[in-house]
């Protein structure tokens, strides 16, 4: 877990670390060492071991030079372009290694053919307005990236971005990876800065966590591992939870199918789809592990079928997902009126994910808090759905997403997951939690249904709503990253994300060992 801090809060945290006995040069040494390690990791064994740094006048420029000295010590060829900086100055780096860093002009950068470029022009003190010298250096870096696919790494904050507000100069550094030193910076999760960040990684340099109770938190693997459900050796499908997914319409049979398969991949023991009978065969042929409740007739009749089924099952189902592909017609409205508005006791008994068309219906209710008062819900709107629920604009939602998510969770007394850029998880009385990465590869049909299925599966396995939302968000973010690595940001479809779920879930509970021994013949 890491806090998201404003620039002022980060400076205060650094000052406290120095006052507690960690000298500022030691913080720079740690930062430079970490940056060098990440440069090696990004370039790998096959890329050119040549690093170029854009070195600004402040501490970020010092961090970049210390990183270059570290890379020189590992056999790299390194060069630096000084941007409004007269000299290297006194730095916590090996003088011999630092002397081997070539100082070159912008005109020589293309010829240097770097394997990675470090942006150390401005840090948290930078603003969303570039001077011409910085703009020229960034343009050269972008040109090299366009010609060679050389990865661009921003140190702490992409230059030209405001670390607190998220404002950005149109020519701001377009990083492939941003290494946030100490803690993530609050402005980086907001547009337009979020698009300039690329992948965001927080680098621990030994700055103690400040006591800021209201600060948002960023999800990470350690929290997800602690919360993820574990199976007993005596586990059976009935002990792993059962989820009923209510959705589907003639034009949207893919939505419940994706949610159902994702719920299975989350570790849930039994997944049942309550869908119109006419689409059942198409889904069953694709995912034979699913079971079904066929629905006929009007919405009220379909709700009665679901109620009877749940009553017959005598508490077997431990979570519900309502909404994927349900539609917005009179049938869907009547079904939701009967299941939710009329206070169905079977729906009230278990945690419920409300997604997609269920949220469209909810937005039409006069009093959302009263409608949900007897339910234990996780609401999963994207920005457009959230704007409709709040009766405001999408621009307003995105401009104050943390505030709106927190206020909605408090007002409705439910867990709210806002799916937008760096997605948010909010619960009454809790700090807002932020996804570990933005997920532009998930801007495609069906990925929301995948997430609702994962969430329903985790709830069915016994996680509380807030815990399930946080674990589910982390799993979804990492499965999205795996899909992006295979397909590219624009080539991912929802089934690619499902394909990544087992490996992510595995890495949350299995030890870090070579699993090959489990498949080798041992007798």
DSSP one-letter string for 473-519? HHHHHHHHHHHHHHH-TTT--HHHHHHHHHHHHHHHHS-SS-THHHH
3-state SS, 41-64, equals HHHCCCCCCEEEEEECCCHHHHHH
pLDDT, tens digit, 9 for 90 and up, residues 304-329: 999 999 999 989 999 999 999 999 99
Could you tell me the pLDDT band of residue 47, with boundaries at 50, 70 and 90? confident
Q: Given this model, what pLDDT does residue 343 score? A: 85
**Which long-range contacts does 370-377 make (Cβ < 8 Å, 24+ apart)?**
371/340, 371/341, 372/412, 372/413, 372/414, 373/413, 374/343, 374/348, 375/340, 375/347, 375/348, 375/414, 376/350, 376/351, 376/352, 376/414, 376/465, 377/351, 377/352, 377/353, 377/414, 377/415, 377/465
Please tell me which residue, 127 or 273, carries the higher pLDDT value: 273
pLDDT(231) > 60 = yes
Taking residues 74-87, what's their average pLDDT? Answer: 97
Lookup: tokens for 394:
């999408």
- Read off the pLDDT of each residue in 73-94 and give the average, rounded to a whole number: 97
Share of the chain above pLDDT 90, in %: 93
pLDDT digits (tens, 9 = 90+) for 338-386: 999 988 899 999 999 999 999 999 999 999 999 999 999 999 999 999 9
Name which of 288, 353, 290, 298 is nearest 329 in CA terms. 298
Question: What pLDDT is recorded for position 2?
Answer: 87
Give pLDDT, residue 521. 54
User: pLDDT of 435-477, one tens digit each?
Assistant: 999 999 999 999 999 999 999 999 999 999 999 999 999 999 9
The pLDDT score that the predictor gives to residue 520 is 63
Assess whether pLDDT exceeds 60 at residue 111: yes
Secondary structure (H, E, C), 122-176: CCCCCCCCCCHHHHHHHHHHHHHHHHHCCCEEEECCCCCECCCCCCECCCCCCCC
pLDDT at 518 over 90: no
Cα separation, 206 vs 34, in Å, equals: 12
User: Cα angle vertex 92, ends 87, 94, to 5°?
Assistant: 90
210 in Cβ contact with 9 (< 8 Å): yes
Tens digit of pLDDT for each residue in 153-175? 999 999 999 999 999 999 999 99
Q: State how beta strands 377-379 and 415-418 pair.
A: parallel
pLDDT of residue 213: 86
C-alpha 393/C-alpha 369 separation (Å) is 20
Residue 313: its pLDDT value, please? 94
* pLDDT average, residue stretch 119-146: 97
Q: What's the distance, CA 88 to chain centroid?
A: 37
Say yes or no to pLDDT of 507 above 90.
Answer: yes
Residue 129 has pLDDT above 90, yes or no: yes
pLDDT at 4: 97
In the block, residue with structure tokens 């990440």:
38
Q: What pLDDT sits at residue 517?
A: 67
Percent of the chain with pLDDT over 70: 98
- Report residue 523's pLDDT band, with 50, 70 and 90 as the boundaries: low
Pairs from 296-299 (Cβ < 8 Å, separation ≥ 24): 298/331, 298/334, 299/330, 299/331, 299/332, 299/333, 299/334, 299/335, 299/336, 299/337, 299/338
Contact indicator for 372, 403 with CB cutoff of 8 Å: no
Q: Which domains does the chain have, with CATH numbers?
A: 2-215 (3.40.50.10260), 236-504 (3.40.1190.20)
H or E element at residue 424? strand 424-426
In angstroms, the CA 66 to CA 399 distance is 37
433-434/424-426 β-pairing: antiparallel
* Positive or negative: CA dihedral 100, 106, 110, 114: positive
Q: What is the pLDDT of residue 450?
A: 98
User: Long-range contact list for 395-399, CB < 8 A, 24+ apart?
Assistant: 398/190, 398/191, 399/190
**With bands split at pLDDT 50, 70 and 90, how would you rate the model's confidence at 238?**
confident
Average pLDDT over residues 501-517: 86
Q: How many residues does the chain have?
A: 523
Query: How many Å separate Cα 457 from the centre of its chain?
Result: 19
């Amino acid at each position: 877990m890491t806090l998201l801090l404003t620039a002022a809060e980060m400076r205060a945290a650094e000052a406290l670390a120095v006052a507690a006995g960690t000298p500022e040069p030691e913080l720079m040494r740690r930062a430079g060492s970490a940056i060098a390690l990440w440069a090696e990791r990004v370039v790998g064994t096959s890329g050119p071991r040549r690093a170029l740094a854009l070195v600004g006048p402040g501490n970020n420029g010092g961090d970049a030079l210390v990183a270059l000295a570290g890379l020189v010590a590992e056999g790299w060829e390194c060069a630096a372009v000084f941007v409004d900086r007269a000299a290297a100055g006194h730095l916590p780096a090996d003088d011999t290694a630092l002397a081997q860093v070539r100082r070159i002009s912008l005109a020589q950068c293309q010829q240097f053919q770097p394997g990675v470029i470090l942006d150390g022009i401005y840090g948290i003190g930078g603003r969303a307005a570039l001077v011409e010298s910085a703009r020229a250096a960034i343009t050269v870096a972008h040109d090299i990236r366009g010609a060679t696919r050389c990865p661009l790494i921003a140190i702490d904050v992409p230059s030209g971005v405001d670390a607190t507000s998220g404002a950005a100069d149109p020519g701001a550094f377009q990083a492939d990876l941003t290494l946030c030193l100490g803690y993530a910076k609050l402005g980086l999760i907001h547009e337009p800065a979020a698009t300039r960040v690329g992948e965001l990684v927080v680098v621990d340099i030994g700055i103690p966590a400040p006591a800021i109770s209201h600060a948002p938190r960023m999800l990470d693997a350690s929290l997800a591992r602690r919360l993820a459900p574990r199976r007993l050796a005596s586990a059976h499908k009935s002990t792993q939870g059962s989820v009923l997914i209510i959705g589907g319409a003639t034009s949207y049979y893919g939505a419940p199918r994706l949610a159902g398969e994702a719920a299975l991949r989350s570790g849930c023991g039994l997944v049942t789809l309550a869908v119109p009978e006419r689409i059942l065969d198409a889904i069953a042929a694709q995912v034979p592990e699913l079971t079904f409740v066929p629905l006929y007739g009007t919405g009220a009749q379909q709700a009665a079928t679901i109620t009877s089924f749940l009553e017959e099952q005598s508490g077997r189902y431990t979570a519900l997902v309502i909404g994927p592909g349900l539609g917005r017609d009179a049938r869907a409205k009547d079904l939701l009126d009967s299941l939710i508005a009329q206070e169905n006791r079977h729906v009230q008994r278990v945690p419920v994910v409300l997604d997609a068309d269920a949220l469209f219906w909810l937005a039409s209710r006069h009093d959302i808090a009263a409608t949900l008062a007897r339910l234990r819900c996780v609401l999963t709107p994207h920005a457009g759905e959230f704007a409709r629920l709040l009766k405001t604009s999408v621009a307003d939602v995105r401009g104050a997403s943390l505030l709106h998510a927190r206020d909605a969770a408090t007002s409705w007394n439910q867990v709210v997951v806002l799916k937008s850029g760096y997605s948010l998880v909010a619960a009454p009385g809790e700090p807002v939690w932020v996804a570990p990465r933005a997920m532009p590869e998930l801007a495609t049909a069906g990925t929301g249904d995948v997430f609702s299925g994962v969430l329903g599966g985790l709830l069915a396995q016994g996680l509380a709503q807030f815990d399930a939302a946080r674990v589910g968000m982390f799993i979804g973010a990492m499965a999205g990253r795996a899909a992006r690595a295979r397909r590219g940001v624009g080539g991912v479809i929802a089934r690619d994300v499902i394909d990544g779920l087992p490996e992510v879930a595995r890495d949350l509970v299995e030890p870090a060992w070579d699993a090959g021994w489990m498949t080798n013949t041992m007798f």
